[in-house]
Amino acid sequence: MEKLTNKEEEVMKILWKLEKAFVKEVLEAFEAEGDKPHYNTLSTIIRNLEDKGYVGHKAFGKTHQYFPMVAIEEYRKRFISSAIEDYFNNSYKSLVSFFAKEEKISAEELREILEKIEKS
């Protein structure tokens, strides 16, 4: 699975949410007015996603309705695994330690995670 650019990820998040959409509908789903790409740019991004195997389409005459070919869970799993390998030396302990040091996770949340692990 090829890595996506930030803009491609943004488009995929919209397609995962909408499940199927025409380029115009994806364009309308962009929340930040200033961050909204031009129609032709968005169309190119979606075609690139299709070339990479992330998106498929159904033709309706000259227009296409696009849909995700990769589930968000599958992408998330690959992305998280890659990030842990690249930035935390493949150590989940280092990952959790990082979030604890950055105060992104509390001691209470860590206890909840431990309880879930022990119940598994």
**Range in 28-32, 59-63, 92-96 with the lowest mean pLDDT:** 28-32
Task: Name residues whose C-beta falls within 8 Å of residue 66's C-beta, 6 or more positions apart in sequence.
Answer: 15, 20, 21, 22, 23, 26, 46, 50, 55, 56, 57
pTM for the model: 0.78
Q: Does one domain contain both 12 and 62?
A: yes
Q: Quick check: is 1 in a domain? A: no
Indicate the burial class of 13 (C-beta count within 10 angstroms; 0-12, 13-18, 19 or more): middle
Q: Does one domain contain both 60 and 30?
A: yes
Per residue in 2-27, pLDDT (tens digit) is 889 999 999 999 999 999 999 999 99
Among the listed residues 48, 14, 18, the one whose alpha carbon sits nearest the alpha carbon of residue 31: 14
For residues 21 and 12, the answer to whether their CB atoms sit within 8 Å is no
pLDDT of res. 71:
96
pLDDT of res. 18:
96
Q: Quick check: is 100 in a domain? A: yes
Q: Does one domain contain both 35 and 79?
A: no
Domain of residue 45, CATH code:
1.10.10.10
Q: Does one domain contain both 51 and 89?
A: no
Q: The domain containing residue 115 runs over which residues?
A: 72-119
Q: What are the C-alpha distances in Å from 51 to residues 15, 72, 116?
A: 16, 18, 40
